[in-house]
């Protein structure tokens, strides 16, 4: 990317922004991802710096009120990150949502995010996540109830819906704003789409033009050029990065004007994440979470499938570290855009 474009991107991402009157560090945020944006990953990300807002992985509204933060696999955090950490909750029934969001506010999170984007069958069959987009009345009732209950910033992450027509999503966005939502994070794909088609970025513009609150764009932001294009062609207020953030967590610092790390960062990153997974989780959960991570990490490399196979063959975190030390080294052939076929599994 030419220096002029790098500087323009950094300038756009570091413009002042506030959510419900609360300032955020910049306009490049971490997207919430189940099994990936856990406390161990977020600690690694914080060490690289540059992320404007952090998001937890998806937390069940039903479980949050009684979760023990010291042992919960999802509702877990470090006190140092709370001032810029948003808790994403999934649920549809206000009777379940309200105790959950009360606890989120009482614990001191920056904000709460209602998930209306997940289309996993187990979520949809409970009328939660993207299923709410089929029932705008229920979606609005959930938002209104949460807004009456808490004063912290309220976010909604949602998709285009269940058809390719963006107008219902734009209408719903307007109603969300009227109900008191402070920020929207929009993924311009239909709910059943498992990333087999590219996102429709013009739909981000449609949502942005429908409301006056901040709108963050999300979806297939892989390179700094992708990020700049999304900002300049859609008019969105910022960018939420998901899978690429797991592949290369230093991108937040890099895209906001910081240094580009050297090749050793891949090895250091994998080892650091392994150590923190061991610290926060029991051996079985740590290994499962590392295996989820390997899809995105290995996609950085030309022979990523071979590397991932080695990781998946590891039976313990010690074996994981052995694979990193033996097979992740400077000089490995990198790809400019990670292998998206590995992502779409």
Q: Give the residue numbers marked as catalytic.
A: 118
Tokens of 6: 């790098």
Cα–Cα distances in angstroms (integers) from residue 125 to residues 92, 120, 257, 318, in the given order: 11, 9, 43, 38
> 205: which residues sit within 8 A by CB, 6+ positions away?
233, 234, 235, 236
Q: Is 203 annotated as a binding residue?
A: no
Q: Is 288 annotated as a binding residue?
A: no
DSSP letter for each residue of 125-147: TTT-GGGGGG-HHHHHHHHHHHH
Q: Are 213 and 155 in contact (CB under 8 A)?
A: no
Cα–Cα distances in angstroms (integers) from residue 270 to residues 107, 249, 285, 317, 328, in the given order: 30, 11, 16, 11, 9
Q: Is 174 annotated as a binding residue?
A: no
Q: Is 180 annotated as a binding residue?
A: no
> 284: which residues sit within 8 A by CB, 6+ positions away?
none
* Pairwise CA distance, residues 199 & 176, whole Å: 22
* Pairwise CA distance, residues 234 & 222, whole Å: 17
* Pairwise CA distance, residues 159 & 155, whole Å: 13
Q: Is 305 annotated as a binding residue?
A: no
Q: Are 267 and 301 in contact (CB under 8 A)?
A: no
Q: Is 78 annotated as a binding residue?
A: no
Which residue positions form the known binding site for FMN? 32-34, 88, 157, 187, 242-243
Which residue positions form the known binding site? 32-34, 88, 157, 187, 242-243
């Amino acid at each position: 990317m030419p220096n002029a474009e790098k500087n323009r991107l950094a300038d756009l991402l570091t413009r002042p922004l506030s959510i419900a009157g609360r300032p955020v560090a910049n306009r490049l945020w971490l997207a919430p991802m189940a099994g990936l944006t856990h406390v161990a990953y977020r600690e690694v990300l914080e060490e690289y710096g540059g992320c404007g807002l952090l998001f937890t992985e998806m937390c069940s509204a039903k479980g949050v009120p009684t979760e023990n933060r010291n042992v919960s696999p999802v509702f877990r955090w470090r006190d140092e990150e709370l001032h810029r950490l948003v808790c994403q909750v999934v649920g549809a029934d206000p009777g379940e949502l309200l105790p959950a969001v009360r606890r989120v506010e009482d614990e001191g999170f920056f904000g709460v995010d209602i998930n209306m984007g997940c289309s996993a069958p187990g979520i949809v069959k409970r009328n939660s996540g993207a299923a709410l987009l089929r029932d705008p009345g229920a979606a609005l009732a959930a938002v209104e109830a949460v807004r009456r209950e808490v004063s912290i910033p309220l976010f909604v992450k949602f998709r285009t819906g269940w058809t390719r027509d963006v107008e219902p999503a734009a209408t719903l966005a307007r109603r969300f704003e009227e109900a008191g939502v402070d920020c929207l994070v929009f993924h311009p794909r239909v709910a059943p789409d498992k990333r087999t088609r590219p996102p429709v970025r013009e739909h981000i513009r449609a949502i942005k033009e429908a409301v006056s609150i901040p709108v963050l764009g999300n979806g297939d932001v892989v390179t700094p050029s992708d990020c700049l294009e999304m900002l300049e062609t859609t008019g969105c207020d910022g960018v939420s990065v998901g899978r690429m953030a797991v592949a290369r967590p230093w991108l937040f610092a890099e895209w906001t004007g910081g240094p580009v790390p050297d090749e050793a960062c891949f090895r250091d990153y994998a080892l650091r994440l392994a150590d923190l997974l061991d610290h926060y989780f029991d051996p079985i959960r740590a290994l499962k979470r590392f295996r989820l991570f390997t899809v995105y990490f290995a996609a950085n490399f030309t022979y990523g499938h071979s590397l991932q196979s080695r990781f998946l063959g590891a039976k313990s975190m010690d074996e994981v570290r052995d694979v990193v030390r033996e097979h992740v080294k400077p000089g490995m052939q990198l790809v400019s855009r990670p292998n998206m076929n590995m992502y779409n599994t």
